[in-house]
Amino acid sequence: MAAIDVTSHPRGVQTERFAPPETLLDVFGATVAGSGALTALDAHDGVLSYDELSAAADRVARALRKHGVGPGERVGVHLESGSWRLYAGILGVLRAGAAYVPVDADDPPARAGEIWAQADVCGVLEGDLRLRRLRPGRGQDRALSADDDAWIIFTSGTTGAPKGVAISHRSAAAFVAAEQRLWTVRPDDRVLGGLSVSFDASCEEMWLAWGTGAALVAAPREVVRSGADLGPWLARRGVTVISTVPTLAAMLDGDALSGVRLMVVGGEACPEELGWRLACGRELWNTYGPTEATVVTTAAPIREGEPVLIGWALAGWDVAVVDDDGCPVDVGEPGELVIGGVGLGRYLDADLDAERFAPLPALGWARAYRSGDVVRETVDGLQFVGRSDDQVKVAGRRLELGEVEARLRAVPGVRAAAAALQKTGAGNGVLVGYVVGDVAPADVRAAVAEELPDGLAPVVVVVDELPLARSGKLDRRALPWPPPDRAGTADPDLEGTAAWLAQRFIEQLGPVAVSADTDFFASGGSSLAAAKLVSVLRGRFPSVAVADVYEHRTLAALAEHLDALGEALAPAPAPQSSARSRWGALQLAGVVGLLTFTAAQWLVGIFAYDQWEGGGPSVGVPALVLGWLLVASPPGRTLMVVAARRTLLRGLQPGRYSRHSWLACRLWFVERLAEVCRVDGLAGTPWAGRYARLCGDRVGRGARLGTLPPVTGLLTVGDGATLEGQVDVQGWWIDGAELVLGEVRVGAGARVGTRCLLMPGADVGEGAEIEPGTVVDGAIPAGQRWSGSPARYVGRAGEGWPDATPARSPRRRLWRAMYGVGMAIQTGLALLATIPGFAVLVALGVNLGSVGSIASAMLFEAPLVAATFLLTYALLVAGLLRCTWPLLRPGTYADDGAVAWAYWFSEALMESTRVLLFPMFASLYIGPWLRLAGIEVGRRTEVSTAVGLSPLVSVGHTSFLTDDVVLATARARGGWLCVEPIAIGDRTFIGPGAVLRSGTRLGDDCLVGVLSTPPKCAPDGTSWLGLPALELPRVPDRPDPARTTSPPRRLVAVRASIELVRMLLPASVSVLLGTGVFLALEHLGNADGLLAMLLCAPLLLALAGIAAATLTVVAKWLLMGRYTALQRPLWSPFIWRDELINTCQEQLARAWLLELGLGTPLMGAYLRAMGAKVGRDVWFETLAVTEFDLVHLGDGAAVNRGACLMTHLIHDRLMRTGPASIEADATLGPESAVLPDTRVGRACSVGGRSIVLRGEELPAGTRWHGAPVVPHAGSPC
Partner 1 sequence: MTGMTGMAGVAGVAGDGTPRVRLIDARMAGLADLADLRAYARAVSEEMGGGRVSRSYCFPLAVVACHEDAVGVDIERIEPCDEGFLESIMTPAERSGRVAWQARDHDPGRAGAVDTDSDQDRAAISLWSSKEALAKALGDALDYDPRRLDSPAAWRDGRSGPWRAARLEVDPMHIVWVCWRAQP
Q: Which is nearer to partner 1, 227 or 1021 (CB)?
A: 1021
| Beta carbon nearer to partner 1, 660 or 1272 | 1272
Closest CA to 795 of 758, 768, 765: 768
Stretch that binds partner 1, among 287-295, 376-384, 693-701, 1248-1256 (CB under 8 A): 1248-1256
Shortest reach from residue 947's CB to partner 1, in Å:
27
Amino acid making up residue 1081: L
Q: Report the run of H or E that residue 149 belongs to, with start and end.
A: strand 149-156
In the complex, least distance from residue 1041 CB atom to partner 1, rounded to whole angstroms: 17
Number of H helices, E strands in the chain: 31, 73
Residue 804: CB minimum distance to partner 1, A = 36
Q: Which of 208, 315, 321, 1253 binds partner 1 (CB under 8 A)?
A: 1253
Q: Which is nearer to partner 1, 541 or 921 (CB)?
A: 541
Q: Identify which of residues 392 and 1032 has a Cβ nearer to partner 1 in the complex.
A: 1032
Among 304, 613, 1020, 1088, binds partner 1 (CB under 8 A): 1020
Cβ count near 1219 (within 10 Å): 19
Is there a contact between 759 and 1247 (Cβ–Cβ < 8 Å)?
A: yes
Instruction: Considering the complex, state which of residue 19 and residue 1035 has its C-beta at the smaller distance from partner 1.
Output: 1035
CA dihedral over 1160, 1165, 1169, 1173, signed as positive or negative: positive
Question: From residue 988 to residue 1007, what is the string marking binding to partner 1 with x (rule CB under 8 A)?
Answer: -----------------x--
Residue whose CB is less far from partner 1, 748 or 1125? 1125
- Minimum distance from CB of 500 to partner 1 (Å)? 17
Interatomic CA distance for residues 93 and 71, integer angstroms: 10
Q: State the minimum distance, in angstroms, from the CB of residue 985 to partner 1.
A: 12
- Confirm or reject binding of residue 1019 to partner 1 (CB under 8 A): yes
For residues 1160 to 1179, the per-residue mask of contacts with partner 1, x marking binding by CB under 8 A and - elsewhere, is --------------------
Nearer to partner 1, 1022 or 1075 (CB): 1022
CA 199/CA 201 separation, integer angstroms: 5
List the interface residues with partner 1, window 844-883 (CB under 8 A). none
Dist. CA 690–CA 679, nearest whole Å:
14
Nearer to partner 1, 822 or 1028 (CB): 1028
Is residue 610 near partner 1 by the rule CB under 8 A? no
Q: How far is the CB of 976 from partner 1 (least distance, A)?
A: 32
Judged by CB under 8 A, the stretch of 680-688, 926-934, 1020-1028, 1111-1119 that binds partner 1 is 1020-1028
State the Cα–Cα distance between residues 915 and 870, nearest whole angstrom: 11
> What is the crossing angle of helices 851-884 and 1049-1088, to 10°?
130
What residues between 911 and 970 interact with partner 1 by CB under 8 A?
Answer: none
Nearer to partner 1, 400 or 1031 (CB): 1031
DSSP state of 238: T
Contact 923, 945 (CB under 8 A): no
Nearer to partner 1, 423 or 792 (CB): 792
Site string for partner 1, 1030-1069 (x = CB under 8 A): xxxxxx----------------------------------
SS3 157: coil
298-301 and 312-313 beta bridge pairing: antiparallel
Neighbours of 886 (CB within 10 A): 11
Residue with smaller CB distance to partner 1, 6 or 546 = 546
- In the complex, what is the shortest distance from the CB of residue 1024 to partner 1, in angstroms, rounded to a whole number? 11
Least Å from the CB of residue 1257 to partner 1: 9
Q: Determine the 3-state secondary structure of 205 from DSSP.
A: helix
| Residue ranges with strand state E in 891-1043 | 891-894, 942-943, 953-955, 960-961, 966-967, 970-973, 976-979, 982-984, 989-990, 995-996, 1001-1002, 1007-1008, 1017-1018, 1023-1026, 1029-1031
- Residue 1254 binds partner 1 (CB under 8 A): yes
The alpha carbon of 879 is separated from its chain's Cα centroid by a whole number of angstroms, namely 59
Sequential DSSP letters for 257-297: TTT--EEEE-SSPPPHHHHHHHHTTSEEEEEE--GGGSS-S
Q: Are 674 and 711 in contact (CB under 8 A)?
A: yes
Instruction: Pick the binder of partner 1 from 1021, 1076, 1133, 1276 (CB under 8 A).
Output: 1021
* 1023 scored as a contact of partner 1 (CB under 8 A): yes
Q: How far is the CB of 1189 from partner 1 (least distance, A)?
A: 20
Residues in region 1206-1245 near partner 1 by CB under 8 A: 1237
By CB under 8 A, how many residues form the interface with partner 1?
34
At residue 416, what is the residue type?
A
Report the C-alpha gap between 1222 and 1240 in whole angstroms: 5
Question: Is there binding between residue 212 and partner 1 (CB under 8 A)?
Answer: no
Q: Is 1268 a residue that touches partner 1 (CB under 8 A)?
A: yes
- Measured CA to CA, the distance from residue 30 to residue 24 in angstroms comes to 10
In the bound state with partner 1, the residue whose beta carbon lies nearer, of 273 and 551, is 551
Shortest Cβ 726–partner 1 spacing (Å): 28
User: Buried (b) or exposed (e) across 198-228, using 16+ Cβ within 10 A?
Assistant: bbbbbbbbbbbbbbbbbbbbbbbbebbeebe
8 A C-beta contact, residue 916 and residue 830:
yes
The region that residue 328 occupies, defined by phi over 0 for left and psi between -120 and 50 for alpha, beta otherwise, is: beta
Q: Give whichever of 810 and 1041 is closer to partner 1, judged by the CB atom.
A: 1041
Residue 22 in the binding site for partner 1 (CB under 8 A) = no
Q: Which of 244, 489, 787, 1022 binds partner 1 (CB under 8 A)?
A: 1022
Rounded to whole angstroms, the Cα distance separating 1168 from 660 reads 22
Least distance to partner 1, CB of residue 216, Å:
53
Nearer to partner 1 by C-beta: 327 or 1030? 1030
- ∠ CA 734-1208-1206 to the nearest 5 degrees? 10
CB 186 within 8 A of CB 212: yes
The answer to whether 369 and 357 are in contact (CB under 8 A) is yes
Which C-beta is closer to partner 1: that of 298 or that of 958? Answer: 958
Map residues 511-550 to x or -, x wherever contact with partner 1 holds by CB under 8 A.
Answer: ---------------xxx--xx-xxx-xx-----xxx--x
Report the residue number, 1019 or 1276, with the smaller CB distance to partner 1.
1019
Question: In the bound complex, what is the minimum distance in angstroms from residue 1034's beta carbon to partner 1?
Answer: 6
Among 106-114, 723-731, 1015-1023, 1092-1100, the segment contacting partner 1 (CB under 8 A): 1015-1023
Interface contacts to partner 1, rule CB under 8 A: 526-528, 531-532, 534-536, 538-539, 545-547, 550-551, 1005, 1019-1023, 1025, 1030-1035, 1237, 1253-1256, 1268
